[in-house]
Chains A and B, each alone.
Chain A
Amino acid sequence: MTAAAHEYTIVALVQDRPGVLNRVSSMFRRRGYNIVSLAVGHSEQLGLSRMTFVVDCDDATIDQVRKQLDKLIEVIEVTDMTGLASVTRELALIKVASSPETRSEIIQLVDIFRANIVDVTIGSVIIEVTGDENKVDSLLTLLETFGIVEIMRTGRIAIPRGMPLI
């Protein structure tokens, strides 16, 4: 089969129990699904967490990913956010080499991207940027000329717009 690969965003509501992340990631590994990013955090309900997966695969595979996730006992709900009206964000912390000569240029870029400088030292700055991956990637490209020292990215998180359909 030559179905085209595509990036899918899947959100899973899971019980916040020891080992649940292991169960989920083990399932992905065992069945050979390719996780681009994975972000986990508490949900609005006590004892439940939300995981956002970005998966690179074709249509038939994402159907399996959804079902295999749903099959795990501790997974309560699985939503394919791909194509749904949703807000998706990623946060990145970028440490860039800087000098008195380059600092103002870096600050200009940071302003254009509505990012923040959250730490400054003699030789570097740390930039915090939030947005979709394209925005983060664009900023990274522009910052390369100054010398990127370290990058920390959260991976994508996603939430549907509006009230849930009953």
Chain B
Amino acid sequence: MKLTGGQIVCEALLQEGVTDIFGLPGGAMLPLYGTLPQYPQINHILVRHEQGAAMAADGYARASGNVGVCWATSGPGATNLVTGLANAMMDSVPLVAITGQVARAGIGKDAFQETDVTGVTLPVTKHNYLVMHASEIAGAIKEAFYIARTGRPGPVLVDIPKDVFTEEADFVYPDSCDLPGYRPAFDPDMKDVESAAVVVNAAKRPVILAGHGVLLSQATQQLKMLAEKAQIPVITTLLGISCFPESHILSMGMPGMHGVAWASYALHEADVILSLGARFDDRVTGDISRFAPDSKKIHFDIDASEIGKTVPTNVGVVGDLKSSIEKLIPLVEQKSHAEWMRRLEGLRDEHPSLKIRNTQKLLPQQILQKISEITNSQAIIVTGVGQHQMWAAQHCTFEEPGTLITSGGLGTMGFEVPAAMGAKVARPDKVVWSIAGDGGFQMTLSELATIAENNIEVKFAIMNNNFLGMVRQWQEFFYESEYTATHYTGNPDFVKLADAYGLTGIRVDNSADVEGAIRQAMNTPGTVIIDFRVEQEENVFPMIPAGQSIYELMEEPTEIEEPA
């Protein structure tokens, strides 16, 4: 039976099990939108800006483990997706984006709303397609989903000209993909696993550096078994947070630029670093030439190009992480590493990072600790980028896999609003808290209308310091406190703003009101926005200034007691 290109898109999406799409129409997408009413199984969520669609799909993918789907029209619609695609690319998030393109005859002629979308998105997607015939749509979508979710996940874009949506073709959904150059999932080479085991077994001061890969390959149980058997402390990168329960005795927390001091020192003093699905990001390593100089590095990754990319590696193990760790566990010896454990305890005592100073002032650290406590670490915490993000990573306690959703590699301010929305759509059973900065929140707050329209329940906690806080902190430390262009003096009244969208707003000025406000938000149905008017010039500690070595970190000021 012949179907139109638009129908083929929808049929293909159903074949992939898609239930929710974030999108916004436009000229080139009209034929596709025209067929959408024939597919009531597909829930289309109308966003207010295409950036929101891409980031909502990102949050959706991270919360569900499925491929997130967004779509947009040609030209500006498609270019508005780009930041979200780049974000998903950096953080290995499976996404499929479909974009309308101008009709075939207009391509290359600078037609109205024409942009070379496959050209623009080439470096920020894992792969992309321009589909020139309706008969090729099914194959392209099949491949897009397959590429997005397998191997190292990532975003894939499918660009479809307007007249291809109306062209008719037979719909046959292929059973498999013909991609001779793509070998996504495989078991590691046992020789490499054996080499890794030899190095691990000889280690006196080993640490595990666990990254996003542990969550992506669902290897959290395997990680726990490995760490417990060989008694190796587990350090988690920002995106690795929640892959290992933080209440576990072997949990060492996050290292790096704003990580806890003992985790950074442990990395520095280790004789073996066993990196599992992490990529030695510069925020973790600091100055790469002085990073953990006395250690051997073992690097497990699904992506061969990560091995040796930034740090010279002694043993590289390429393959699916879950299967790789499963193969490693029987080869590692049971150990206690008692001396090393004592040293690490000592590091914790010598560097009491994360103490919150005793003050009446409203500190973001207290708020985040309180949210974590009141939600019993069961909520999905979504953050934007900056100080509030680092405080969330430091002061919330993460126990369950997938409970932190944050923009890591790209550092995308504004992620917190649409990503929280997407996370809630994916996981209506979970409480979703969006930890926002007043800067980032204003970048994407247009999605509050989407949230209101679709009754999506998100609890927003804005750490409102009237500053681009992290940039201000750098200005304070490195630019003689010259606060150029970081002070927000014209912020809206977020409580009135909530009201304008028909949502609930709460303002908190005093630390005494924090707990009450959080409980009120939890007990109020629907979306609630809490405007926490926090201490304006609070800094995130510890801090390793960019380009410095991780043993040169700045700890909290020693004076942590402050008179009321």
Contact = CB atoms under 8 A, between A and B. Distances in A.
Question: Do A and B associate with each other?
Answer: yes
Given A64-B308, A64-B309, A71-B305, A76 B181 contact: yes
Nearest to A26: B122
Interface string A2-26: 0000000000001100110011001
A67 B181 CA distance: 12
B308 A63 contact: yes
A71 B309 contact: no
B123 A19 contact: no
Contacts of B307: 67
Contacts of A1: 289
Q: Could you say which interface size class chain B belongs to? A: 20 to 34
Q: Could you say which interface size class chain A belongs to? A: 20 to 34
B245 to A, nearest CB: 33
Contacts of B147: 73
Nearest to B308: A63
Given A60-B312, A64-B305, A64-B309, A18 B130 contact: yes
Given A15-B180, A18-B130, A71 B119 contact: no
A18 B131 CA distance: 11
A71 B303 contact: yes
A76 B178 CA distance: 12
A70 interface: yes
A75 B305 contact: no
Interface string A46-81: 000000000000001001100110111111110000
Interface string B161-179: 0000000000000000001
A73 B122 contact: no
A64 to B, nearest CB: 6
Nearest to B151: A71
A159 B182 CA distance: 24
A47 B147 CA distance: 21
A30 interface: yes
Contacts of A72: 181
Interface in B267-289: 289
A77 B289 CA distance: 32
B127 interface: yes
Nearest to A19: B118
Nearest to A63: B308
Contact of B305 (A22, A30, A67): A67
B182 A73 contact: yes
Interface centre among B130, B305, B307 (most CB of A within 10 A): B305
A60 B181 contact: no
Nearest to A29: B123
Interface in B113-168: 118-119, 122-123, 126-127, 130, 147
A60 B147 CA distance: 28
Contacts of B123: 26, 30
B304 interface: yes
Interface centre among A18, A71, A73, A77 (most CB of B within 10 A): A73
Interface string B283-310: 0000001000000000000011101110
A75 B180 CA distance: 8
B180 A70 contact: no
Nearest to B182: A73
Given A22-B122, A26-B122, A30-B123, A15 B181 contact: yes
A73 B179 contact: yes
B181 A74 contact: yes
Nearest to A72: B181
Nearest to B289: A1
Contacts of A19: 118, 122, 130
A14 B181 contact: yes
A19 to B, nearest CB: 7
Contacts of B305: 64, 67-68, 70-71
Contact of A73 (B127, B308, B309): B127
Given A68-B305, A71-B303, A23 B181 contact: no
A17 to B, nearest CB: 10
A72 B127 CA distance: 8
A63 B127 CA distance: 22
Contacts of B127: 73
Given A67-B304, A71-B305, A72-B181, 18 more contacts: A1-B289, A15-B180, A19-B118, A19-B122, A19-B130, A63-B308, A64-B305, A64-B308, A67-B305, A68-B305, A71-B304, A73-B127, A73-B147, A73-B179, A74-B181, A76-B180, A76-B181, A77-B181
7 nearest A-B residue pairs (beta carbon)? A67-B305, A76-B181, A73-B127, A67-B304, A75-B181, A73-B182, A76-B180
30 contacts: A1-B289, A15-B181, A18-B130, A19-B118, A19-B122, A19-B130, A22-B119, A22-B122, A26-B122, A30-B123, A60-B308, A60-B312, A63-B308, A64-B305, A64-B308, A64-B309, A67-B305, A67-B307, A68-B305, A70-B304, A71-B303, A71-B305, A72-B181, A73-B126, A73-B179, A73-B181, A73-B182, A74-B181, A75-B181, A76-B181
